[in-house]
Amino acid sequence: MRVPPLHLLRSFSEAARLGSFSRAAEGLNVTQSAISQQIRQLEQEVGTPLFQRVGRQISLTDFGRVYLRLIGGPLAALEEGHTALQAMTGRSSLVLRLSRSFGSQWLAPRLPDLARRHPEISVTCMFLNPGDIPSMSSGDAIVLGTNRQGELSDFIVEPLFTTTLCPVVSPAFGSVDVAKLSEYPIIHTLRRHDDWQTWCLAADLPYVPRDQGWSFESSSMSYSAAEHGLGIVMAELEFIADNLAQDRLRQISPITAMSGHHFQIAYSRSRYTRPALRKFRDWMAEQAPSNRQL
């Protein structure tokens, strides 16, 4: 089935909203005759009158009111999408692609500082899923782990940091004897399946069995479960700074270990010198921890 051209629907929607062909013409920057002609064309397309015309006065017919309800939502969605895309591609706009954990746990708490220092910059953050392949059209910058280094030949890559591991629990969990971890409920994060072994090796403790306790796909769910007292979770300390500062989680040991998770940011070569991106690059360099082992 053929869908009427968008400009016909837009003219109909404006005329219905304003109750006037002439005011709709002014709003759309066209002539009144153009609006009248487009409405007639649309009425021919749908096969029924959409307006009642009495002299210079117009009002929607019953079919016109139904049609306006049917197309109003899709038209608004199209306009919103167009506006959003314009905002994403403006001179002072940036599009970032990143993982959910990095975006929500590391970047989001720092964005108010960026907004205060550079209020002219507009940022759009989009999640990068594990199977996504970075491309020049992915945005201005992409945050990735070093295990995807081979996919970044078209980008300028700068290191961010390597995460630091330490087990944490809810303050209400009670005391923990780290020498007897096997006696406590353990929380594993599936995408970071080696972290417990890495930390236990650094702490000179027996490995925690992977089949012991609870397992969650995402770090955010693991941390949330630990906050609610489910058990002990191996945390990347850079991602839970707020949780620790607000006493929602606490470390059970002073021993930390460097993980195998190295984060880096890849900037589009074609956009690297844009003023907005240059300001963001400088800001990111200040925000990243001094630990940059790669």
- Is residue 143 assigned to a domain? yes
Evaluate whether 124 touches 88 at the Cβ level (below 8 Å).
Answer: yes
Mean pLDDT: which of 15-19, 97-101, 264-268, 277-281 is highest? 277-281
Least confident of 14-23, 181-190, 219-228: 14-23
**Residues found in the chain:** 294
Same domain, 31 and 132: no
Residue 239 belongs to what H/E stretch? none
CATH number of the domain at 104, please: 3.40.190.290
Same domain, 125 and 229: yes
Same domain, 44 and 173: no
Beta bridge partners of residue 250, listed in sequence order: 169
Same domain, 84 and 94: no
- Is residue 186 assigned to a domain? yes
CB atoms within 10 A of CB 22: 15
Residue ending a domain, among 45, 69, 88, is 88
Same domain, 277 and 181: yes
- Is residue 112 assigned to a domain? yes
What is the C-alpha to C-alpha distance for residues 82 and 67, in angstroms, rounded to an integer?
Answer: 22
Per-residue pLDDT band for 80 (boundaries 50, 70, 90) equals low
Using a 10 angstrom Cβ sphere, with 0-12 exposed, 13-18 middle and 19 or more buried, the burial of residue 34 is: middle
The whole-number average pLDDT for the span 141-145 is 83
Same domain, 79 and 138: no
pTM above the 0.85 mark?
no
Per-residue pLDDT for 78 more than 70? no
Same domain, 144 and 228: yes
Round the average pLDDT of the chain to a whole number and report it: 85
Evaluate whether 7 touches 38 at the Cβ level (below 8 Å).
Answer: yes
- Is residue 137 assigned to a domain? yes
What is the C-alpha to C-alpha distance for residues 125 and 201, in angstroms, rounded to an integer?
Answer: 36
Helix (H, G, I), strand (E, B) or coil at 163: strand
- Is residue 268 assigned to a domain? yes
What is the C-alpha to C-alpha distance for residues 122 and 89, in angstroms, rounded to an integer?
Answer: 10
- Is residue 1 assigned to a domain? no
Same domain, 154 and 193: yes
Cα torsion angle, 272, 274, 277, 279, sign: positive
Residue ending a domain, among 88, 107, 135, is 88
Same domain, 109 and 64: no
Angle at 135 between CA 127 and CA 269, to 5 degrees: 110
Please report the pLDDT score of residue 106 as a whole number.
Answer: 92
Q: Which tokens belong to 17?
A: 């909203």
Per-residue pLDDT band for 245 (boundaries 50, 70, 90) equals very high
Per-residue pLDDT for 93 more than 90? no
What is the C-alpha to C-alpha distance for residues 190 and 215, in angstroms, rounded to an integer?
Answer: 6
- Is residue 36 assigned to a domain? yes
Using alpha carbons, list the distances in angstroms from residue 269 to 7, 98, 152: 38, 18, 11
Using a 10 angstrom Cβ sphere, with 0-12 exposed, 13-18 middle and 19 or more buried, the burial of residue 176 is: middle
Residue ending a domain, among 60, 88, 116, is 88
Helix (H, G, I), strand (E, B) or coil at 97: strand
Give the CA count within 13 Å in the CB-facing half-sphere of 121: 24
Give the CA count within 13 Å in the CB-facing half-sphere of 210: 10
What is the C-alpha to C-alpha distance for residues 105 and 57, in angstroms, rounded to an integer?
Answer: 57
- Is residue 229 assigned to a domain? yes
pLDDT in tens, 150-196: 556 678 888 899 999 999 999 999 899 999 998 999 999 988 889 99
Burial 50-85 (b: 16+ CB within 10 A, else e): bbeeeeeebebeeebeebbeebeeebeeeeeeeeee
CATH number of the domain at 10, please: 1.10.10.10
Instruction: Domain of residue 103: give its range.
Output: 90-294
What is the C-alpha to C-alpha distance for residues 230 and 98, in angstroms, rounded to an integer?
Answer: 28
Same domain, 54 and 174: no
Same domain, 290 and 150: yes
Same domain, 26 and 121: no
Cα torsion angle, 20, 24, 29, 34, sign: negative
What is the C-alpha to C-alpha distance for residues 8 and 58, in angstroms, rounded to an integer?
Answer: 17
Number of domains in the chain: 2
